[in-house]
């Protein structure tokens, strides 16, 4: 592994250090690269400074500060901080260590970038790459580069705050709808289903949204394949043991009391006549029994069930007596 040279570029007029950098090349090669950038169209602080020297027929002086091996990042950061502490007005944009990790845009630059973006949106400048089809190998590389990438919770919160309340124009909605029509999505894995379930837990849906979903699903026919899949999923889940809170029970009572259909005269008798004599399969009985396991029944409900059983027994006895009397007569 080649050693890394930490060097300084010195202003030949003032004798002050103006730039601290690192290289694995020779100092002559690195200086030539700096001068080439200064003669070109590179708009950095250091290039402009060296461009001014070139107009005067001068070039900066180069001096070795340190020869580092493995810890060259720490060495570069040290020399930049040391020179700035000594009062040198460096043209470095960062604190060293190879990269722009410590670079921060000035408020004026941020404002200029924001105005430029607003101008592009207002003028509806079309992206030159829009609609361009990328080769399969490029798409594969893009996919591989994104795999395993994780987004921090802080960034997720920022993205969520940015998109909250954002509405798409009608023409954009129409394009998205047209693009998705007839498009079949592949089956989701168990992990994807669990992630979707976690995202939806605790989510409150407004009454307006509920009404829209209900209206969209009403009258929508299900294919035989869809029905078969629903049946298979229900059989895989097995019997569901439900536990109802007192708040839910109260809500159900109030809903039933306000249900006009339930208060229709003769409805209870019609339901009773329709269900009388109906035989349930053994599988159905087993499902009902498994679903009621662990279900707590209140004393009031027990009393009502007992009274209903007594009434049915009395009715059976009366019917049996009437039948026997008709036979004897």
Q: What is the DSSP string of 192-248?
A: HHHHHHHHHTT----HHHHHHHHHHHTT----HHHHHHHHHHHHHH--------HHH
Give me 242's structure tokens.
Answer: 């439900």
User: For 18, phi and psi rounded to 5 degrees?
Assistant: -115, -15
In this structure, the answer to whether residues 59 and 92 fall within a common structural domain is yes
Whether pTM exceeds 0.75:
no
> In a 3-state reduction of DSSP, which class is residue 11?
coil
> Residue 53: how many CA atoms within 13 Å on its side-chain side?
21
- Of the two residues 132 and 13, the one the predictor is more confident about is 13
User: Measuring CA to CA, how many Å separate 126 from each of 93, 120, 123, 131, 223?
Assistant: 33, 9, 9, 10, 43
Q: How many domains does the chain have?
A: 3
Range of the domain at 35: 4-109
Arithmetic mean of pLDDT, 123-134: 60
- Rounded CA-CA distance 266/73 in Å is 88
Residue ending a domain, choose from 94, 109, 124: 109
Arithmetic mean of pLDDT, 142-168: 78
Q: Which of 139-143, 262-266, 281-285, 286-290 shows the lowest mean pLDDT across its residues?
A: 262-266
Residue 104 has a pLDDT of 64
Give me 165's structure tokens.
Answer: 């309340």
- Rounded CA-CA distance 100/44 in Å is 14
Residue 269 has a pLDDT of 72
In this structure, the answer to whether residues 287 and 305 fall within a common structural domain is no
Residue 19 has a pLDDT of 92
Residue 269 lies in a domain: no
What pLDDT digit, counting tens, does each position of 27-78 carry?
Answer: 889 999 888 888 876 678 888 899 888 888 899 999 988 888 777 888 888 8
Residue 101 has a pLDDT of 44
Residue 56 lies in a domain: yes
Contact 72, 22 (CB under 8 A): yes
Residue 77 lies in a domain: yes
Residue ending a domain, choose from 54, 80, 109: 109
């Amino acid at each position: 592994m080649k050693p890394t040279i930490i060097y300084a570029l010195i202003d030949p007029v003032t004798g002050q250090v103006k730039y601290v950098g690192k290289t694995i090349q020779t100092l002559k090669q690195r200086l030539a690269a700096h001068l080439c950038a200064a003669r070109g169209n590179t708009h950095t602080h250091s290039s402009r400074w060296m461009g001014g020297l070139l107009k005067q027929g001068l070039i900066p002086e180069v001096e070795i500060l340190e020869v580092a091996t493995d810890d060259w990042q720490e060495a570069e950061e040290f020399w930049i901080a040391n020179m700035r502490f000594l009062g040198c007005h460096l043209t470095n944009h960062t604190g060293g260590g190879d990269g722009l990790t410590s670079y921060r845009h000035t408020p004026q630059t941020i404002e200029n970038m924001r105005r430029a973006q607003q101008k592009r949106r207002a003028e509806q400048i079309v992206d030159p790459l829009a609609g361009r089809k990328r080769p399969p190998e490029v798409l594969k590389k893009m996919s591989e580069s994104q795999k395993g990438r994780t987004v921090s919770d802080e960034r997720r919160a920022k993205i969520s705050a940015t998109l909250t309340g954002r509405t798409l124009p009608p023409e954009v909605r129409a394009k998205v709808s047209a693009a998705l029509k007839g498009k079949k999505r592949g089956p989701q894995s168990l992990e994807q289903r669990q992630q979707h379930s976690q995202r939806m837990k605790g989510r409150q849906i407004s009454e307006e949204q509920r009404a829209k979903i209900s209206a969209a699903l009403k009258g929508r026919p299900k294919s035989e394949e869809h029905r078969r899949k629903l049946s298979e999923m229900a059989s895989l889940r097995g019997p569901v043991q439900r536990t109802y809170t007192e708040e839910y029970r109260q809500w159900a009572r109030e809903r039933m009391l306000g249900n006009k259909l339930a208060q229709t005269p003769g409805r209870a008798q019609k339901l009773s006549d329709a269900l009388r004599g109906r035989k349930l399969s053994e599988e159905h009985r087993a499902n009902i029994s498994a679903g009621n396991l662990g279900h707590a029944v209140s004393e009031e409900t027990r009393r009502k069930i007992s009274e209903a059983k007594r009434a049915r027994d009395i009715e059976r006895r009366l019917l049996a007596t009437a039948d026997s009397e008709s036979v004897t007569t």
